[in-house]
Amino acid sequence: MCSHKVLVHNTSGYVIRCNECESFQVAFGTIVFNLSTENYSCFCRQVRRHTQEGAAQDYPGQKRIHLQLPCKSVMIAVNYKELLQLENMLEESIFMQELNDILHTNNTNPTDDQ
């Protein structure tokens, strides 16, 4: 049975990570999906790339941005505002995961202050 660490939780959704298998679960809007660590990194890069390109800024309310999931027959359609919300949530989750990794490393490898 998996136990999870909440990396981010807000009105847009959440990102959690399994402590055992290290997979991620992302909830955004009405969709929930699981990703391996590698696929999570790819998904984050895809979202960042769309944001940097200014995807569909001319039509901010229309769901013109399609984000591919590892299952080739499933995509997420978002508008530009939702894309920015998703990017912020993912970036916060990456920061929190890095912080957790640092804290875990420091707790498992305490330095000798003597």
Per residue, what are the HEC states of 30-67?
Answer: CEEEEECHHHHHHHHHHHHHHHHCCCCCCCCCCCCEEE
Domain annotation covers residue 100: no
Domain annotation covers residue 35: yes
Q: What percent of the chain has pLDDT over 70?
A: 91
**Residue 1 confidence class, pLDDT cut points 50, 70, 90:** low
State the pTM of this model.
0.84
Q: Pick the range with the lowest mean pLDDT from 1-10, 54-63, 94-103.
A: 54-63
- What residues does 24 pair with on adjacent strands? 17, 35
How many helices and strands, by DSSP H and E, does the chain display? 2, 6
The C-alpha atoms of residue 37 and residue 71 are separated, in whole angstroms, by: 15
Domain annotation covers residue 106: no
- Mean pLDDT for 6-12 is 95
Burial class (CB in 10 A: 0-12, 13-18, 19+), 74: exposed
C-beta separation of 1 from 13 below 8 A: no
Domain annotation covers residue 102: no
pLDDT at 109 over 80: no
pLDDT at 110 over 90: no
The C-alpha atoms of residue 45 and residue 55 are separated, in whole angstroms, by: 14
- In the three-class reduction of DSSP (H, G, I as helix; E, B as strand; rest coil), residue 97 is classed as helix
Q: Structurally, how many domains does the chain consist of?
A: 1
Domain annotation covers residue 111: no
The range of the structural domain enclosing residue 53 comes to 4-95
Domain annotation covers residue 112: no
